[in-house]
Structure 1
Amino acid sequence: MQSIRSYLRQVSIVMAFAMMMTTLWAVPASAAMVGTGEVLSEQRADIDRASLMTMLEKQEVKDVLASMGVSEAEVENRIQSLTPAELADFEQQLATAPTGEGVVGVIVLFLVIFIVTDLLCATNIYPFINCIR
């Protein structure tokens, strides 16, 4: 009986030490409230990206981009890298564009996006545009 108590005492000391060490190294969890606006803006950005991708699948847009020497994969990468604010602005411009000029508006907007990213040194598509840095 005495040997069992001494054994249990040693085990309880080891367990208490192990519990103390695990609580000292534990990282506290933090949680924050996620606003409805944040969730809606993320979902809206996904919807805007999807609509741009479907617009990019039109043959007219593909032909014009090919004539300008811009690959479809490069345009897709650019669309994926747009911020939600840029996507919302782009969608607003598309909504206000006349119906017959939609394709031209899309292409002009892509070109403006390419020029801005060239100016910001993110890409080097057009050799005649110098980086602002």
Structure 2
Amino acid sequence: MNSLRRHMKQLSLIMVILMSFATTFSVSAHAGMVGTGELIQQQQTDLDRQQLLDMLEDQNVQDKLAQMGVSEAQVAERIQNLTPAELADFEQQLAEAPAGEGVVGVIVLFLLVFIITDMLCATNLFSFINCIR
């Protein structure tokens, strides 16, 4: 009987220590409602980003970027790093551009992406653009 109590005390001490570690280092989860507007905005951002990436597949765009010394991978990486507001702005500029300026508009769009990322210190592609910071 006495040995059983001694083992129970040891077991209860171990359990107390394990429970205190479990509750101390646990992370609580926070759940919340996702609004329809937020969901639509995220899907629109993903769609805009994919449309810009699809434009990179055009051979004329690839040729023009190669002439400028910019790789397709650099452009794709910068498109992935754009904020939703920047993506929406670029998509609006593309939508307002005349239909005949397709390739030129895309090239100008990519140049704007490069300039903005250089200004935000994310890259250093153009030496004549100074970082804002």
- TM-score, normalized by length of structure 2? 0.80
Change (3 A) 1:6 1:121: closer
CA–CA distance in structure 1, aligned partners of residues 103 and 63 of structure 2: 11
Equivalent runs, 1:99-118 vs 2, <5 Å: 99-118=99-118
What residue number does 1:32 align with?
Answer: 32
The sequence identity of aligned pairs, in percent, is: 58
1:91-126 Cα distance to aligned partner (Å, 9 max, x none): 111112111102111111211221122122221111
* Gaps in structure 1 of 5+ consecutive residues: none
* Gaps in structure 2 of 5+ consecutive residues: none
Amino acid at match of 1:109: L
What residue number does 1:92 align with?
Answer: 92
Deviates more, 1:78-87 or 1:119-128: 119-128
What residue number does 1:132 align with?
Answer: 132
Query: What RMSD over aligned residues (CA atoms) do the two structures have, in Å?
Result: 2.4
What residue number does 1:21 align with?
Answer: 20
Query: Which of these two proteins has the greater Rg computed from alpha carbons?
Result: 1
Amino acid at match of 2:110: F
Amino acid at match of 2:16: F
1:39-82 Cα distance to aligned partner (Å, 9 max, x none): 11111111111111111100111111111111111000011111
Amino acid at match of 2:60: E
What residue number does 2:52 align with?
Answer: 52
Amino acid at match of 2:39: V
Amino acid at match of 1:21: S
The count of residues paired between Structure 1 and Structure 2 equals 132
Partners of 2:48 and 2:91 within 8 A in 1: yes
